[in-house]
Amino acid sequence: MGGFSKKNDLAAKRGYTYRLTRRQFLVASSAAALAACAPAAVTPGASGSPSAAPGKELKIGQLLPFTGVYAELGNSMRRASELYFKLNDGRMANRPIKFIYEDDANVTATGVAKTQKFIDQDQVDVMMGVVPTPLAYAIRPAVHAAKMIFIDTNAGGNALTRDTADCKPACKSPYIFRSSFSSYQISYPIGDYLSAKGTKDWFLAYANYGFGTESAADFTTGVKKNGGSVTGNVAPPLANADFAPFVTQIKNQPTKNVYSFFSGADAVGFIKTWNQLGLPAAGYKMYGAGFLTEQDVLKEVKDLANGAVTSLFWAVELDNAENKKFVADFQKQYPLLPDVFAVQQYDGMRALDEALKSLGGDTTDKDKFSKALEDVAFKSPRGDFAFDKTTHNPIQDIYLREVKTTGGQTVNTILDKIAKVTDPGK
């Protein structure tokens, strides 16, 4: 990416320098055709007390996948945003909210073009969303150059909130926060935990793209800390159409403990094939990053995932008052259980709201805005929520969870907790 050398009129008004290169212009133009298939930008009708004069409209750009392998993740995050909108009278710090949704379709070039649209055309106050790690890395230069406050509500690539030697593919920006997780937080602790308890030999299965490879590497580091080893791996492409060849490779090797990273439609396909090819009966055990068995997946596979053990910072049955209220509110609005993607988005909205309240709704000074977000702390459905001021990544408990079907519902039940896990930041 390039083109940061000259100011255009829009950029000058916002106090940053950024322009499209010819290549980026062509990408944005071609992306317009894809946008026709995306959900239209939505401006929910605001309502509020007639005695309080509303402030200037707060425009929130939401970059999410509504088509492709992660479509259900994008839908879940949209539901959470609109639930927060409804429960808070359509406002933050007395500013009426306008959501502008764009579908990245899990295509990096499309997401980059839509990000520039948010910055240059829509002039949003805040940007949220992004599911895949490669897209989060790709938009980082534009977001940073524009001093755009970006709350990443899913993508877990470690480098997005870390300082690296050459800042490639990404590096920490004062304007980037994460309300979700890093790969390290999800993947390292379960490797450390299970190998410390004596499960030493592992086979890996993971989607062959940014987060999949990072998750496998972080899990391996945790396993090796306690003398464990990885005996082999399979790495299907993202949005894989046929898992049979890969699951067959797993069944044809002797290591029974299998750690996996798949999410969305890939997780559904992997679990169904795992059962179709008889791996449970052959003694193979399913472990993974929590997205493998999140509620978006369990509603499709149901008891086929029973017994799987995963790690994540939330579960629908987590026993705290905030989570009980969130689950009840979500189910009142929608006819399904929430998933972790909804929690991440909801917490991102709450963090934004709390920061705006401390600023009296003023978003003009991006450095003050960043500092206000750094100071946010509240009770979340996941437990205590706060940003690590060094990394802008959340500090959070990680839960070991087992899938069980009880009372007709398949959910993740809590086995154990690893408290206050932070990303190392380097």
Name residues whose C-beta falls within 8 Å of residue 265's C-beta, 6 or more positions apart in sequence: 69, 70, 71, 72, 239
pLDDT of residue 139: 96
Domains and their CATH numbers in the chain: 9-181+323-394 (3.40.50.2300), 184-312+397-421 (3.40.50.2300)
- Tens digits of per-residue pLDDT, 121-140? 999 999 999 999 999 999 99
What is the rounded average pLDDT for all residues in the chain? 89
Share of the chain above pLDDT 90, in %: 83
What is the C-alpha to C-alpha distance for residues 155 and 426, in angstroms, rounded to an integer? 17
Positive or negative, the CA dihedral 97, 102, 108, 109 is negative
- Tens digits of per-residue pLDDT, 178-231? 999 999 999 999 999 999 999 999 999 999 999 999 999 999 999 999 999 999
pLDDT band at 177 (very low <50, low <70, confident <90, very high): very high
pLDDT of residue 165: 60
pLDDT at 239 over 90: yes
pLDDT at 259 over 90: yes
What is the C-alpha to C-alpha distance for residues 228 and 378, in angstroms, rounded to an integer? 38
Share of the chain above pLDDT 70, in %: 86
315 token code pair: 């579960």
Cα angle 202, 205, 211 (rounded to 5 degrees) comes to: 115
The DSSP line for 16-66 is: ------HHHHHHHHHHHHHHTTSPPP--PPP---TTS---S-EEEEEEE--
- Tens digits of per-residue pLDDT, 77-102? 999 999 999 999 999 999 999 999 99
